[in-house]
Amino acid sequence: MATPATEVSALSLEQLTQKICDIPNDFHEAGVMGNGVLKAMARILSKMHIQHSAETGSGKTTLLFSHLSHHHTVFAKDQFDHFNVGSISAVQGSEFFQQERTEYVVGATQETLPHHHFEHPLDVVLIDGPHGFPFPELEYYFFYPHLREGGLLILDDIHIPTIRRLYEFLREDDMFELEEVCDYTAFFRRTNAPLFNPVGDGWWEQGFNVKHRNAAREEADRELLMLNEAANEADEAATVRAVKSDGERNIKYYLFRAVAKVFGADFALRVQRTWRAFRSQED
């Protein structure tokens, strides 16, 4: 039974969060955020004054954001490979959804984010869109210049290897401080470090590269050495085969000369033809 709008507005944040947690996990087909993470989000975000927020993906988190943020932008789509997951329609049909505070940008984030213009700095960003490489990094790239100092970056599904690498990068970056990890979701706070130039390079200034540069070079050198050794072994094997083949040809030549000298050229030719026919049957 639906909860009347007046009753929803009268709920405390704790009660509202629990109501959202109680929504069945088949709410939509794209997967839902765990209850522990939803409660952690409510606890952390309730301490912030959120004017503008954004997320990739749509679901229970969207319902929560629609109560905690004055203007929340959602980058999502319902259709995946001819299959409708219903993540947008499920949220928009929920009794806990505040439509007046939420804006949907419908489409693949790989296409919508590069063309979106953020008019205000973002207080909170949740990255939970497509998980395959390099899509989480792509979303991060188009979000991070707009996240204000003191803002929150939430990264979901850090157990997936492609996203784990982004998580490890952020842990070493001066712009972010890891505040909390709940289940498979990480909460990063934007520090007062200068914005990394989004159209520059400066890879040597990034903490992840500074920390892992020597190890990465040593690993690359080991791989190069192994490749060179494999190539040398292949060259040596090819040389042995060539010498062996040349040796076999030389032996056959001298045998033919010896047989021809003793028994005559005609007999030597007949022996050669018989030998070739025998070898072809063996092959």
User: 203 versus 260: which is more confidently predicted?
Assistant: 203
Q: What angle do CA 103, 59, 126 make, to 5 degrees?
A: 70
Per-residue pLDDT at 6 exceeds 50: no
* Of residues 21, 113, 14, 3, the one with CA closest to residue 68: 14
The residues spanned by each domain of the chain are 5-198, 216-282
- What is the DSSP track for 54-98? EEES-SHHHHHHHHHEEEEEEEE-SEETTEE--HHHHHHT-TT--
The per-residue pLDDT for 134 is 94
Structure tokens at 243: 């010498």
The β-bridge partners of 29 are: none
The pTM of the whole model exceeds 0.85: no
Residue pLDDT, tens place only, 123-161:
999 999 999 999 999 999 999 999 999 999 999 999 999
pLDDT at 127: 98
- Chain-centroid distance, C-alpha 191: 24
Question: Is a pLDDT exceeding 70 seen at residue 8?
Answer: no
pLDDT digits (tens, 9 = 90+) for 57-111: 999 999 999 999 999 999 998 866 666 677 898 899 999 999 999 999 999 999 9
pLDDT band for position 251 (cuts 50, 70, 90): low
Q: Does domain 5-198 have CATH number 3.40.50.2000?
A: no
Residue 10 banded pLDDT, cuts 50, 70, 90: low
Q: How far apart are CA 163 and CA 232, in angstroms?
A: 38
Report which secondary-structure segment, H or E, holds 189: strand 185-190
Task: Give the pLDDT of residue 26.
Answer: 74
pLDDT at 228: 77
